[in-house]
Amino acid sequence: MITELKTLLAVVRYGGFTAAGEKIGLTQSAVSNQIQRLEDSLGFPLFDRTRRSAVLNEDGAKVLIRAEKIVSLVARLGDPEDMEDAVDTLHIGAIASVQADLLPRALAVLRRSRPRLRINITPGVSLKLMDQLDSAEIDAAVMIRPPFGLMPELSWQTLVYEPFKLLVPRTVKGNDWREVIQQQPFLRYERTSFGGRMVTGFLRENGLVVDDAIELDEISGLMTLVSQGCGVALVPMVDAYLPMPPNIRALSLSEKTFYREIGILRKKRSARHQLLSELEKCLKDAISPAPADKPGGRRPVSQAGAAATPHTDKPRSPPTRSNSRPRPASGC
């Protein structure tokens, strides 16, 4: 029956029998037969047959929660922990920047209320974490909001908006970010990451031509490179990395400021719903407005869910550039 349960998860995940078959290597007929066998075994239908799309009925929604749990447990059979412990283990995926500060503070509170809960943190970039959530390897992901629509079975809760600023070595003169970003070597936030895609889109929409020097996915690494005089970088102001080294200046993008949206992604129907709701609350409580003397300007989301709307821009012509390029900061 485990095969049929996996097929059920695929149908729900990809929104239909045909789409599921394409993803798992089966024909639509084979997928339909597996679902029929599962329904025959259970003794009741799982889908609302009056609709054209694959929509679970009330019984199907209940089975889905159990199926996710069963498939997840089977995937963990090689784990030396016993099955009871496995049920009490929460698997959370997290990007590097939230592991440095936000997530540990939230987990400390969660553990105080649930001292027997075991928590496993899986590191990764946002796109990889989404795949692991799909395959039930993790129960939730604390990550960057993807730049594309989410599947209907997923739930997203925004935690904080982190404004991007242009980091420059203190030895670099000038406060016009448009000029500085085009005159100095550019340290690029890795372009295939969700944050890196935002940077690439910002440069394109504002008609900015940069001199790429180094590409890196780690924000802390980009800050280190800037402090070493290797160039300038567009990075989000992550609370864990503030205050910045004294030899770095952060230039505001003013009305062109855009934001990295950090939140928690999980499935709407999950056997861990109560646990994940508690985790979500702990994450919200762990975020407090940045004090006035701490630069950064992040925008936390209120308990009611209100949040700042990220700024978007239409493409504009690049500013006039001088034929002579100022010498980059020394040190790299």
| Residue written as token pair 């505001």 | 252
286: left (phi over 0), alpha (psi -120 to 50) or beta: alpha
pLDDT score, position 317: 33
d(CA 149, CA 308): 19
| Residue written as token pair 């922990």 | 81
| 156 beta partners | 265
Paired tokens of 211: 């001199």
Mean pLDDT, 10 residues at a time, over the chain (332 residues)? 88 84 89 90 86 79 85 73 56 93 94 90 93 87 92 92 96 95 96 94 96 94 96 94 91 96 90 88 82 48 40 35 43 66
Residue whose C-alpha is closest to residue 300's, from 266, 264, 263, 275? 263
Peptide bond into 243 cis (omega under 30): yes
161: left (phi over 0), alpha (psi -120 to 50) or beta: beta
**Burial level of 114, CB count in 10 A (0-12/13-18/19+)?**
middle
d(CA 67, CA 50): 23
pLDDT score, position 214: 97
| Residue written as token pair 């485990």 | 2
- CATH 1.10.10.10 positions along the chain are 2-75
- Looking at domain 2-75, which of 1.10.1760.20, 3.40.50.720, 1.10.10.10, 3.20.20.70 is its CATH number? 1.10.10.10
CATH architecture of the domain with range 83-160+260-300? 3-Layer(aba) Sandwich (3.40)
pLDDT score, position 11: 86
Which residues touch 163 (CB under 8 Å, ≥6 apart)? 236, 237, 253, 257, 258, 259, 296, 297, 298, 299
Contact of 33 with 7, CB cutoff 8 Å: no
CATH number of this structure's domain 161-259: 3.40.190.10
d(CA 186, CA 234): 9
How many CB atoms lie under 10 A from the CB of residue 90? 20
- CATH 3.40.190.10 positions along the chain are 83-160+260-300, 161-259
